[in-house]
Chains A and B, each alone.
Chain A
Amino acid sequence: MDRGGKEKPVTDAGAPAKPRSGLEALLRAGHFVVTAEMQPTSGADPEEVRTLATGLIGRVDAANCTDNPAARPHLSSLAAGHVLVQSGLEPVVQLTCRDRNRLALQADLLGAACLGARNVLLLTGDGVTAGDHPETKPLFDLDSLHLLRTACILRDQGTYLSGRPLSTRPSFFIGAVENPFAPPHDYRPMRLAKKVEAGAEFVQLQLCFNVPRLREFVARTRDLGLLERVFLLVSVYVTRSTRALRYLRDVVPGIDVPDAVMARLEHGPSELQAEEGFRLALETVAALREIRGISGVHLISIKGQEAILRLIEAAGLLPRPKPGTQPAPAPGERAAPG
């Protein structure tokens, strides 16, 4: 861990002497990190989460526990994150502004830290109309930038938003999301700059099916001087069928699937679609590793943990490094971001 501290600090003023999480230690040491999205569960038995977690241990550096994804209720991200901690897998606990006001968000940020989570990912959240309870009252008391700064206030100032002091400060590595593939494209890098100003230390970018667009975004991000201040991870989807890809494009808001990508899957025989989708993900990961300024990948597949594990293996991302170690100077690996 101390060796990581000798690297060029990522957050100029606020770089901590010691990384707050394993994920942060790996990123600061210059490793290309791998995170995966935990499949959300709908049961009260921790064993369901534990089973999923066990499959990912040693294969990913951290796993995201989503917060009512697509506005559909699931086991809470705090509870899932706690089970991950107990299982020996580092969680990235997601919190959205949709279902909680600022009181509940601050309570849950403290709660997440109290239950052992050291990475949080703070986002706006999908609209309630996307889910199976469209009659819900959406809250959106704070926006995601307010929430990022609120997490920083708890951690760095040791108070609630009101100024009332905490007895113990939480220790977090603070993450945000951004979508380089949604309009207005020219504004997205600037919005990322605002998120960094608000406190984001790492960012998980939306699912990437459009590498040229991503390259443009990273170039603009570099122009704004952000690559020294924030780690960029890119989400990659392991497609298993044309139907799943069409669902992402047509039903999930904010996902850009270019026609050429769609056609590539549509034109093959149906029994080979899964294989072609896998190859697409593999090529995307390889392309991302070549982009300077991309520090890792975040892997997603709907109910497809097996596909994620296969991808990690096939992409040559194993074995995963231990926090506190330095990366070997191999092609595709960078010593420091930017």
Chain B
Amino acid sequence: MSFLGRVLVAVEKAVKEPLFDCRMCGQCILHSTGLVCPMRCPKNLRNGPCGGVLVDGNCEVYPDRPCVWVKAWEHSRLLPLWRDHMEHLNPPVDWRLQGTSAWANLASGRDKELPAAWTAAEKRSP
């Protein structure tokens, strides 16, 4: 990675980590998750909570922490924008982008590069 690229990653991390507890997956979907980072979910779920959420709304894997997706749902209801993005079907993670800058990937369109058949399925879906 170039020097400028490393600076960008450092800046993005410095901003997004304290704000959103961002895990730098490089393909940001915070707008679809009530600005709660879904990569904090121990099952890496990108499309909503699993069925194991405890009655008190905490995580089945870390029972002392709230479920990331319960927070995502609650926060999304408070946002003036992107509320309906909770209904979006988010594509699989490209694990090659871990630790890269989502801002750079958004600008270049790299974060929209999906497996060919996934893209075809999106087009078939109404």
Q: Which A residues contact B (CB, under 8 angstroms)?
A: 13, 97-98, 102, 123-127, 129-130, 138, 140-146, 149, 152-153, 156-157, 159-163, 177-179, 182-184, 186-187, 190-191, 193-194, 197-198, 206, 253-254, 256
Q: Are B53 and A182 in contact (CB under 8 A)?
A: yes
With a cutoff of 8 Å between Cβ atoms, the chain B residues found around residue A144 in the complex are 47, 50
Main secondary structure of the interface of B (DSSP, over half): loop
Q: Is the CB of B118 within 8 A of A153?
A: yes
Chain B residue at minimal CB-CB distance from A139: B44
Instruction: Please count how many residues in chain B sit with their CB below 8 Å of the partner chain's CB atoms.
Output: 40
A312 shortest CB reach to chain B, Å: 25
Complex Cα distance, B15 from A106, in Å, reads: 38
The reply on B99 being an interface residue by CB < 8 A is: no
- Chain B, residues 70-94, CB within 8 Å of chain A (1/0): the string is 1001100000000000111101110
Pairwise interchain contact A187-B48, C-beta atoms closer than 8 A: yes
Could you tell me if A184 and B51 are in contact, using CB atoms closer than 8 angstroms?
no
Whether B91 and A254, one on each chain, are in contact in the complex, defined by CB atoms closer than 8 angstroms, is no
Q: Is B120 an interface residue (CB 8 A)?
A: yes
Contact of B117 among A157, A182, A187 (CB under 8 A): A157
Verify B55–A183 contact, CB threshold 8 A.
Answer: yes
- Find out whether the CB atom of B121 lies under 8 angstroms from the CB atom of A162: no
Q: A125 CA to B44 CA in the complex, in Å? A: 12
Contact of A183 with B115 in the complex, beta carbons under 8 Å: no
Task: Name which residue of chain A comes closest to B57, CB basis.
Answer: A183
**Which residue of B has the minimal Cβ distance to A205?**
B51
Known: A146-B91, A179-B52, A191-B47; 19 extra A-B contacts, CB below 8 A, are A127-B61, A138-B42, A141-B92, A143-B43, A143-B45, A143-B46, A145-B46, A153-B118, A157-B124, A159-B116, A161-B92, A161-B116, A162-B115, A177-B51, A184-B73, A187-B73, A190-B86, A206-B51, A254-B51
